[in-house]
Structures are given as C-alpha cells and as structure tokens.
C-alpha cells in the first residue's frame, strides 16, 4: 500500500524531540566510540526521525567499567535499604509527574495507543515504588540450633547486572528490571531494544534528578548482535536479565554458559484463553478481545489462541468477530484509538505474512489486512481466524500482532490437551463458572501464570514468568530480590567447638553420627 499524504499530515510529532539519541555512561551522554549510529523510525509513516548511537563491544566495555567502579567504590551497594528506597520513591514520583510526556514519546516511538502507553508509564512508576517498599520490608532467615549454632542469611548485591529489553512496552519493561536490580544495590548496564530507544534515554535525567549516584545506571543503545551480545559475553557482568524472543533467549543461554552467569529469561508466548459453555459470555468476549488486541497484540501474555466449547462455538465466533470489527484502529496519539500501528516495518511484514498464511489455515472472520482508513504505515486491522487446526502454524507460532486463532473443543480433556499443545507456556486464561473445573484446569495447564475469569491483571507480589519455551526462572515480588542478590549462609558456633580432630597420633578420628550432612 502506498502512503497517503493527508493521512500522514494528521499524525502527531511530539515537540522537542532530541536531536540524537546517545549512550549514557558514567553520568554523561556520549556517542559510540566509533561514531556509528542507526536509524530510528516512527511507525505511522516509517520515516526515520532520529539517529541513535550504535553501541559495540568497546562501548559496552566502557559502560561495564563504569558500573564496576560504581559497585566496588561507590556508595550505592553500601547504602542502607531505606536510603536506596528513598531514591527509588523519588524516581517513581518523577515518572508519575511526567507520565503524559512519557506516554507521548512512547506512543510516538512504538505505535502504542496513547491511553495504553499512559497506563504503562504509570506501571513503570509503580514498579519502582513496589521494589522501594519491598527492600525496606526485606527480612532474611536466621536458624537456631539450640545450644550449638546460629546460622543466618547475609544477602548481598551481586555486581553489574546486564539488562536486555524488548520493544513492546519499552519503558515499563525496563522499569521491571531496573527497579529490583537497583533496589538491591547492584549497578546496571541497560541495553534497550533498537526499534524503540526514545523513552529509555529519559531514564538518565530522571535518575540524576532523583539522586542516583554516578555510574550506577549506564545505558548502551545498539543492535542485539553487537551491543547485546557484548554485554552477554562480558566477563564482569555476572547477571543477565533478558526479555525477548525465545530463540534469542536460547542464543543468550548458550553465550552466557561459559561464564556460568545468573540468567532470568522472560520469553515468548502463545497463550490459550479457554472458554467453557457455562462461562459469563459477555465478560469472556470482552476479556478475550482485550487480551489479544491491547498493546497492538504485541503482548507476551496475549491470549492469542481462543479455545471454545463446541456448544457455544458458533455464537462465540459470530459475536467475537463482530466485536473485533468494531475495535477502533487509529493514530497512536488519538485517545479513542484501541489498536495503533505496529512498531516497525520489519515486524509489520512478519505479522502480515501470518495474516496471509492464516487465510490458508483458517476461516477469516474479521480483519485480514490493513484497515481501509489506515492503509499506510504499520497498521493492521484486528484479524480473527476461526476453525484453526491445532497443527496450523498460526496456532503454534507466536505472531505478536493483532491476530487471533479460534478453535473448538468437545471436552475438558480435549481443552487441556489443546491448551498444552504448543512449545510455549507463559499464560493461560480460563472462563467457566464451575469452581472445581477452573481449579483443576489451572493446576494442569502448562503455564507460568493462570487467570481464572479474569483478564491479565497483575499483582506485583506474585511470580511472573513462563515454563517450557516461555522462560527460565520467575521474577516478581521477593523472587526478583532473590535473582539480583547472593544469599550467603553464615554459620556461628555458640557452644563448644564441634570439631572432629584430625591428625592426632594417639587416637583415630570418629565420624560424627550426630551430623547427618557433614559437607
Ligand atoms: P528480541 O529477542 O528480538 O530482542 C529483545 C532484546 O534482545 C533487544 O534489545 C535486542 O536488541 C536484544 N538481542 C537480540 N539479539 C541478541 C543477542 N544475540 N544477544 C544479546 N541481545 C540480543 O525480542 P523483541 O522482538 O524485541 O521482543 C518481542 C519478544 O519479546 C516476543 O517474543 C515477546 O513474547 C517477548 N516478550 C516476553 C515478555 C515476557 O515477560 N515473557 C515480555 C515482553 C516481550
């Protein structure tokens, strides 16, 4: 499709965009050492609007050196939790006070609808607030062996954390890693997604204003295979927290293996939304529409496979398709927009290829291409395929766009088998009014997170993460604190020293039968 000038004229370009996007290393904005840059596009016109510094190994080395210095010599890891917590609360206050500007920039750079970008900006503030609170409430275990020993956990920050993030909700996902990594006293190097570097460049100013010491936060922009790869392979970065595609996660897993790094992997998904005949159908339809079309369908936990009990299947498909057709596609900056523009022409081409494939694998009942009024940029109409067979590629593969596959089932057993029938295991959504069925299904489904009669509403205290190809490890609540800290065990003798004596000439050593695990 060719772009149409009048429509493009109605797009919104924020005032005061930065002239270029740089790295932020050791408290200063800097270009790449080799001066290299890459193009950044905005997704309504696909025009290049800014150049960003393209970081390479030398830039990562510089950033890691600064973060290492801040860790070994700076105040941050040694500050009281309350002092770090105050800085984190100030960060949250600043993010909240700038939520409209953050949303404006994020929406412009990523194509996310402005109302949803605003929600993500507020969530970013909440992530900082949550970990600020958690770190002062943190308690560690002490174990007493009466009369003999006291053993306690000495929790410590680990060092330089490498944070690698995707483009789908850039600022919020960065906060999800920055919050706990900083709260626990680590220093960081962030490598944000190359499609969407704009909002990440705001962290530096926010952190400076909040009083984060110099060198604690470092940011290197660049391509995954350059800057990301160098961060993963840097010997002085003991931790990598990665969110992105499962295939990238596999590559990083291999690249980090020689260094035995701590890894947290939040990866792709193809999550089922299962609708039983006894469900509240109005609520289930609203939720399953929102579940796959919010955030432009670029959502790791999207319910992108809807499994529907046969007795309500026809009615469900007909009502679902009708509602999907009413979902409002529009300019990202328009507050009425429900689905904006996909992030980048490469991603648009990928999603469109699945839309075309779907026409051969299922029955198209809504969408199927660009909307009539938005036949330019990266817009795609909410697209619904019914009667999709479980071996279809659009049933099995993550599309990461506004595209959903609907499949019927006849029994609870079949629903469960279908739900588990992909390599992924991130989220699952179940709609039924039968309490026993809901819980039994939740406990059997292969998913890291399950919502029963609910949309994707998160509680930050709960574990977040996937099973199978959807991830490794869980963050969320104290699990994030665990990932970003070492838990050293300290053992203290209280009574007589408990010591088998080796090397005495005049008697042989007896094995202590009271100590079952003499490691
Ligand atoms: P991606 O894997 O292409 O890129 C993610 C990040 O990794 C980017 O910053 C990229 O530059 C970097 N990267 C790429 N190759 C690298 C390498 N060899 N070494 C180091 N870093 C490298 O993912 P994406 O397309 O940006 O994001 C979409 C994916 O993210 C989807 O699969 C989605 O499901 C997933 N995701 C998962 C979650 C979750 O919490 N489970 C949340 C959001 C997105």
At residue 77, φ and ψ (nearest 5 deg) are: -70, -20
* CA of 245 relative to ligand 1 center, distance in Å: 5
Helix (H) or strand (E) run with residue 291 in it: helix 281-293
CA dist 164 to 228, 243, 264, 275, 285, Å?
7, 6, 10, 35, 35
Q: Strand 272-275 vs strand 427-431: parallel, antiparallel, or unpaired?
A: parallel
Q: Which of 123, 113, 471 is nearest to 297 (CA)?
A: 113
User: 362 vs 130, 289, 293, 305, 347, CA distance in Å?
Assistant: 43, 18, 19, 12, 22
Ligand 1 near 165 CB (within 6 A): yes
- Report the pLDDT value the prediction gives residue 497, as an integer from 0 to 100: 87
Exposed (0-12), middle (13-18) or buried (19+): which is 33, by Cβ within 10 Å? middle
The secondary structure of 262-315 as a DSSP string is EEEEE-----EEEE-TTS-HHHHHHHHHHHHHGGGG--TT---EEEEEHHHHHH
Per the listing, tokens 């626990």 go with 184
Q: Is 164 in the pocket of ligand 1 (CB under 6 A)?
A: yes
Alpha carbon distance 164, 178 (integer Å): 11
From the CB of 400, is ligand 1 less than 6 Å away?
Answer: yes
From the CA of 249, give the closest atom in ligand 1.
2
The answer, yes or no, to whether any atom of ligand 1 lies below 6 A from the CB of 398, is: yes
Q: What's the angle, vertex CA 470, arms to CA 466 and CA 473, rounded to 5? A: 50
DSSP calls for 169-189:
SHHHHHHHHHHHHHHTT-EEE
Alpha carbon distance, N-terminus to C-terminus of the chain: 69
Q: Yes or no: say if 395 and 418 are a contact pair by the CB < 8 Å rule.
A: no
Residue numbers in the chain where pLDDT is lower than 50: 1-3
Report how far residue 94's alpha carbon sits from residue 505's, in angstroms, rounded to the nearest whole number: 71
For ligand 1, whether the C-beta of 166 sits within 6 Å is yes
Residue-wise burial string across 130-156, b where 16 or more C-beta atoms lie within 10 A, e elsewhere: bbbebbeeeeeeeeeeeeeeeeebebe
Strands 28-30 and 37-42 turn out to be unpaired
Determine if ligand 1 sits within 6 Å of the CB of residue 224. yes
Taking the domain 272-460, which CATH number applies?
A: 3.40.309.10
Domain boundaries, the chain: 23-267+473-483, 272-460
Cβ–Cβ < 8 Å for 428, 447: yes
Ligand 1 atom nearest to CA at 268: 34
Pick the CATH number of 23-267+473-483 from 3.30.1540.10, 3.40.50.300, 1.10.760.10, 3.40.605.10: 3.40.605.10
Q: Which atom of ligand 1 is nearest to 232's Cα?
A: 20
What is the pLDDT, as a whole number, of residue 506?
Answer: 64
Name the residue with the closest Cα to ligand 1, atom 8.
193
264 CA to middle of ligand 1, Å? Answer: 13
* Amino acid 2: pLDDT: 46
Q: Give the three-class secondary structure for 191.
A: strand
Q: How far is the CA of 165 from the centre of ligand 1 (A)?
A: 6
**Active-site residue numbers?**
266
For the stretch 20-59, pLDDT in tens is 999 999 999 999 999 999 999 999 999 999 999 999 999 9
Please name every residue paired with 278 in a beta bridge, in sequence order, or none if there are none: none
**Contact 183/134 with Cβ under 8 angstroms?**
yes
Minimal CA–CA distance to 18: which of 105, 139, 136? 105
Secondary structure class of 209 (helix, strand, coil): helix
Q: What is the pLDDT of residue 276?
A: 98
CA triplet 214, 217, 218: central angle to 5 degrees? 105
Judged by DSSP in three states, 371 sits in: coil
Dist. CA 27 → ligand 1 center (Å)? 27
9 burial level (CB within 10 Å; 0-12, 13-18, 19+): exposed
pTM, entire model: 0.95
Q: In the 8-state DSSP scheme, what is residue 212?
A: P
Query: How far, in Å, are 143, 466, 491 from residue 517 at the CA level?
Result: 16, 34, 14
Cα 321 to ligand 1 centroid, rounded to whole Å = 31
How far apart CA 136 and CA 88 sit, in angstroms, is: 11
**CA 163 – CA 471 distance, rounded (Å):** 15
Q: Which residues are CB-neighbours of 85 under 8 A, at least 6 positions away? A: 132, 133, 135, 136, 183
Q: How many residues are there in the chain? A: 519
Give yes or no for a contact between 264 and 417, defined as CB atoms under 8 angstroms apart.
Answer: no
Contact 374, 330 (CB under 8 A): yes
Instruction: Give the helix/strand (H/E) hosting 470.
Output: none
270 CB near ligand 1 (under 6 Å): no
């Amino acid at each position: 499709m060719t772009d149409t000038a009048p429509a493009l004229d109605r797009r919104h370009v924020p005032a005061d965009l930065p002239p270029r996007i740089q790295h932020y290393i050791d408290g200063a904005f800097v270009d790449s050492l080799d001066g290299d840059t890459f193009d950044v596009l905005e997704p309504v016109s696909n025009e290049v609007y800014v150049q960003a510094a393209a970081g390479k190994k030398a830039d990562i080395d510089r950033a890691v050196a600064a973060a290492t210095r801040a860790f070994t010599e700076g105040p941050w890891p040694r500050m009281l939790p309350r002092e770090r917590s105050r800085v984190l609360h100030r960060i949250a206050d600043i993010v909240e006070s700038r939520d409209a500007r953050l949303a404006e920039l994020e929406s412009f750079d990523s194509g996310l609808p402005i109302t949803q970008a605003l929600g993500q900006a507020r969530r970013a503030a909440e992530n900082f607030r949550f970990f600020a609170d958690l770190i002062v409430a943190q308690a560690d275990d002490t174990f007493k062996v009466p009369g003999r020993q006291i053993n306690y956990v000495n929790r410590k920050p680990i060092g330089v954390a490498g944070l690698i993030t995707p483009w789908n909700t850039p600022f919020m996902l960065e906060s999800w890693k920055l919050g706990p990594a900083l709260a626990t006293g680590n220093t960081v190097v962030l490598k944000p997604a190359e499609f969407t570097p704009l909002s990440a460049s705001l962290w530096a100013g926010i952190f400076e204003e909040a009083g984060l010491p110099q060198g604690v936060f470092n940011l290197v922009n660049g391509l995954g295979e350059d800057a990301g790869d160098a961060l993963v392979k840097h010997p002085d970065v003991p931790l990598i927290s990665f969110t992105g595609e499962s295939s990238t996660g596999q590559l990083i897993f291999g690249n980090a293996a020689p260094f035995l790094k701590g890894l947290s992997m939040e990866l792709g998904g193809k999550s089922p939304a299962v609708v039983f005949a006894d469900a509240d159908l109005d609520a289930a339809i609203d939720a399953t529409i929102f579940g796959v079309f919010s955030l432009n369908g670029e959502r790791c936990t999207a319910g992108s496979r809807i499994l529907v009990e046969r007795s309500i299947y026809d009615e469900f498909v007909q009502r679902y398709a009708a509602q999907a057709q009413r979902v409002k596609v529009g300019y990202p900056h328009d507050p009425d927009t429900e689905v904006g523009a996909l992030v980048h022409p490469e991603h648009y081409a990928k999603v469109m290829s699945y839309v075309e494939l779907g026409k051969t694998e299922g029955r198209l009942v809504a969408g199927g291409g660009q909307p009539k009024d938005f036949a330019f940029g990266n817009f795609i109409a909410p697209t619904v395929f019914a009667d999709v067979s479980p071996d279809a590629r659009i049933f099995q593969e993550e599309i990461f766009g506004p595209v959903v596959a609907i499949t019927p089932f006849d029994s609870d057993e079949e629903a469960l088998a279908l739900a588990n029938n992909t390599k992924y295991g991130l989220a699952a959504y179940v709609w039924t009014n039968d309490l026993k069925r809901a819980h039994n299904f939740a406990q059997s489904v292969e998913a890291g997170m399950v919502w029963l009669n609910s949309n994707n509403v998160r509680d930050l205290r709960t574990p977040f993460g996937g099973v199978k190809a959807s991830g490794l490890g869980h963050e969320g609540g104290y699990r994030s604190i665990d990932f970003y800290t070492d838990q050293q065990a300290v053992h203290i003798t209280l009574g007589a020293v408990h010591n088998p004596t080796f090397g005495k000439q005049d008697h042989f050593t007896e094995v202590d039968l009271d100590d079952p695990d003499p490691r």
